[in-house]
């Protein structure tokens, strides 16, 4: 009972500190939304008409709504007792979605405030705007983490309440939960060990993996530049007049060169990875077959021939293909995403 009260007091304390810090950060940053800090900037935001690319009082409104949402979670954790874990778990997805939405609002608002495309878009960033945007991002993530803390506290309080009411029965259930948890931990450890063994097979084929990664990097870079130079070709066609096609011919040659390099790199990338994982598949089959040959006769009495054959053919292929597919796609998407972001920010950071 005392532990439950202590946990509830912790929820109230963290909620109070979060609400106080969130509102204070929003209020203080809005006061710096001007050439000099002033409390009048805060009231001016509510008196002036709302413009998305100039007004910042929407951050304060978001802080109020976020504080209300967290206070609601704290109230559910304290007053709903037995129903609190279920209710908080059901609303945790809403908390996560709200966190993603508010985090996405920060860069959108930053682009709007920095837009200088015309007289209605001055693109002026005041000293308090950057801290205001960062505070919204940080407090949005913290709010979701605090909601998960409420859920954990409610589950802990429910467990302690059930332990006090049904001590003997709960002791048996607790032992079963401990065994289940230990089994889950053993399963996770076993999966980790299997992954390490598969990576050891990949280490033996480091040369072909290095070749595949190199061609993958070249292929991803060329795929990043293809849309840009396609636009250059279209722009050359539109801007060309009369017999002046020199820029068009130059753009087409460059586009052709990049396309050829992309095709060659893509083929060599696929070939390197496929050859590497074919060798890995062969090594796994060889080691498995060598292990089966050394088994005693009683082992084959307990295991069917079809099951062993399936292990040698389908399962080994599935293991090697899983590595090949996941590593290839992960590296390709990572390089293309990072390269595209850098290239677009080089053209225009907005």
> Is residue 186's pLDDT more than 50?
no
Do 216 and 324 contact (CB within 8 A), yes or no?
A: no
Report the pLDDT value the prediction gives residue 275, as an integer from 0 to 100: 86
Distance separating alpha carbons of residues 62 and 23, to the nearest angstrom: 10
Q: How confident is the model at residue 66 (pLDDT cuts 50, 70, 90)?
A: very high
Report the pLDDT value the prediction gives residue 309, as an integer from 0 to 100: 73
Highest mean pLDDT among 98-107, 189-198, 325-334: 98-107
Report the pLDDT value the prediction gives residue 142, as an integer from 0 to 100: 92
> Is residue 22's pLDDT more than 50?
yes
Higher per-residue confidence, 157 vs 144: 144
> Is residue 169's pLDDT more than 60?
no
Higher per-residue confidence, 10 vs 298: 10
Higher per-residue confidence, 298 vs 181: 298
Higher per-residue confidence, 178 vs 6: 6
Q: What does the block give as tokens for 258?
A: 């990049």
> Is residue 176's pLDDT more than 70?
no
Report the pLDDT value the prediction gives residue 323, as an integer from 0 to 100: 67
Could you write out the DSSP letters of every residue in 264-321? HHHHHHHHHHHHHHHHHHHHHHHHHHHHHHTS-HHHHHHS-HHHHHHIIIIIHHHHHH
> Is residue 17's pLDDT more than 90?
yes
The predicted-structure confidence for 305-328, as pLDDT tens digits, reads as follows 777 777 667 776 776 666 666 777
Report the pLDDT value the prediction gives residue 166, as an integer from 0 to 100: 57
Highest mean pLDDT among 125-134, 135-144, 243-252, 284-293: 135-144
Contacts for 42 with CB less than 8 Å, ≥ 6 apart: 27, 30, 31, 57, 60
> Is residue 235's pLDDT more than 60?
yes
Report the pLDDT value the prediction gives residue 1, as an integer from 0 to 100: 46
Contacts for 128 with CB less than 8 Å, ≥ 6 apart: 28, 29, 30, 31, 32, 33, 34, 37, 56
In the chain, what percentage of residues exceed pLDDT 90? Answer: 10
Q: How confident is the model at residue 64 (pLDDT cuts 50, 70, 90)?
A: very high
Q: How confident is the model at residue 10 (pLDDT cuts 50, 70, 90)?
A: confident
């Amino acid at each position: 009972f005392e532990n439950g009260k202590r946990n509830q007091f912790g929820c109230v304390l963290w909620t109070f500190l979060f609400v106080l810090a969130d509102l204070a950060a929003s209020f203080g940053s809005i006061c710096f939304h001007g050439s000099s800090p002033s409390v009048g900037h805060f009231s001016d935001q509510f008196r002036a008409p709302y413009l998305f690319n100039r007004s910042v009082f929407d951050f304060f409104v978001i802080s109020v709504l976020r504080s209300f949402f967290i206070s609601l979670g704290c109230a559910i954790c304290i007053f709903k007792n037995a129903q609190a874990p279920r209710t908080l778990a059901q609303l945790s997805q809403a908390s996560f979605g709200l966190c993603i939405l508010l985090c996405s609002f920060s860069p959108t608002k930053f682009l709007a405030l920095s837009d200088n495309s015309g007289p209605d878009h001055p693109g002026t960033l005041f000293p308090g705007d950057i801290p205001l945007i960062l505070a919204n991002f940080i407090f949005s993530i913290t709010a979701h983490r605090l909601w998960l803390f409420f859920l954990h506290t409610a589950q802990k309080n429910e467990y302690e309440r059930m332990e006090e009411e049904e001590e003997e029965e709960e002791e048996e259930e607790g032992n079963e939960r401990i065994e289940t948890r230990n089994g889950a931990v053993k399963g996770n450890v076993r999966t980790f060990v299997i992954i390490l063994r598969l990576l050891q097979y990949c280490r033996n084929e480091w040369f072909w993996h290095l070749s595949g990664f190199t061609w993958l990097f070249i292929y991803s870079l060329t795929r990043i530049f293809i849309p840009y130079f396609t636009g250059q070709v279209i722009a050359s066609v539109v801007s060309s007049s009369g017999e002046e096609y020199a820029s068009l011919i130059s753009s087409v040659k460059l586009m052709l060169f990049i396309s050829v390099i992309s095709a060659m790199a893509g083929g060599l990338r696929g070939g390197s990875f496929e050859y590497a994982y074919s060798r890995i598949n062969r090594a796994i089959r060889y080691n498995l077959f060598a292990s089966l040959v050394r088994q005693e006769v009683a082992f084959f009495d307990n295991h069917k021939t079809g099951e062993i054959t399936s292990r040698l053919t389908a399962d080994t292929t599935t293991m090697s293909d899983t590595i090949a597919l996941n590593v290839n796609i992960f590296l390709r998407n990572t390089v293309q995403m990072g390269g595209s972001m850098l290239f677009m920010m080089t053209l225009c950071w907005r």
